Structure 1
Amino acid sequence: MSNLTNKTTIYLDASVKKFMQHKAVAEGRSVSEIVNEQFADMMEDLHDIKVVHERRNEPTYPFEKVMQELGITYDQLRD
């Protein structure tokens, strides 16, 4: 586990706590490592969602048009 720089207390539902403890034992990791990883994944997902919202007004292109512009056929994709 990486060095912790801060400590905090979180309160989990009993079923969530039990699940996290079992997962930690099964994976040979600490609950803190799993929670940190999950929060990092959530933050990455939130960033991705923000980017999608920022780009929602950009023009879209059909896949076939992109292939045509690149001079690629479906048969070439299969090979």
Structure 2
Amino acid sequence: MSKLADRTTVYLDPVVKQFLQHKAIAEGGSVSEIINDHFADMLEDLEDIQEIKDARSEPRQSFDSLMSDLGLNYNDLRD
């Protein structure tokens, strides 16, 4: 099994690289921090999307059915 390198070279479009450098200066951070933060956010978004996809297969219940199961009616909500 091969060992992962501690460093990786990534080639960026010059415009993207310049944008990231300016953003890093403005935020007082580094280009690596910006990229790492954005990838972490993207991975969280992917997890959220997967949870939404998984929830689609769960049984659905209408609002009226839920109200009935709880023994409530619309007038109970107004009080």
TM-score by length of 1: 0.68
Equivalences for residues 1-79 of structure 1 within 5 A: 6-60=6-60, 73=77
Flag structure 1 segments of 5+ consecutive residues without an equivalent. Answer: none
Structure 1 residues 7 and 61, CA, compared in 2 at 3 Å: closer, same or farther? Answer: same
TM-score (structure 2 length as normaliser): 0.68
Superimposed CA distance per residue, residues 23-76 of structure 1 (whole angstroms, 9 cap, x where no aligned partner): 00000000001111011111111111111111112244567887x65x784x78
Greater radius of gyration (CA): 2
Aligned pairs, how many? 69
The structure showing larger relative contact order (alpha-carbon pairs under 8 Å, at least 6 residues apart) is 1
**TM-aligned CA distance change 1:50 to 1:22, over 3 Å:** same
Identity %, equivalent residues: 49
* Structure 2, unpaired ranges of 5+: none
Ranges of 4+ aligned residues in structure 1 off by more than 3 Å: 59-66
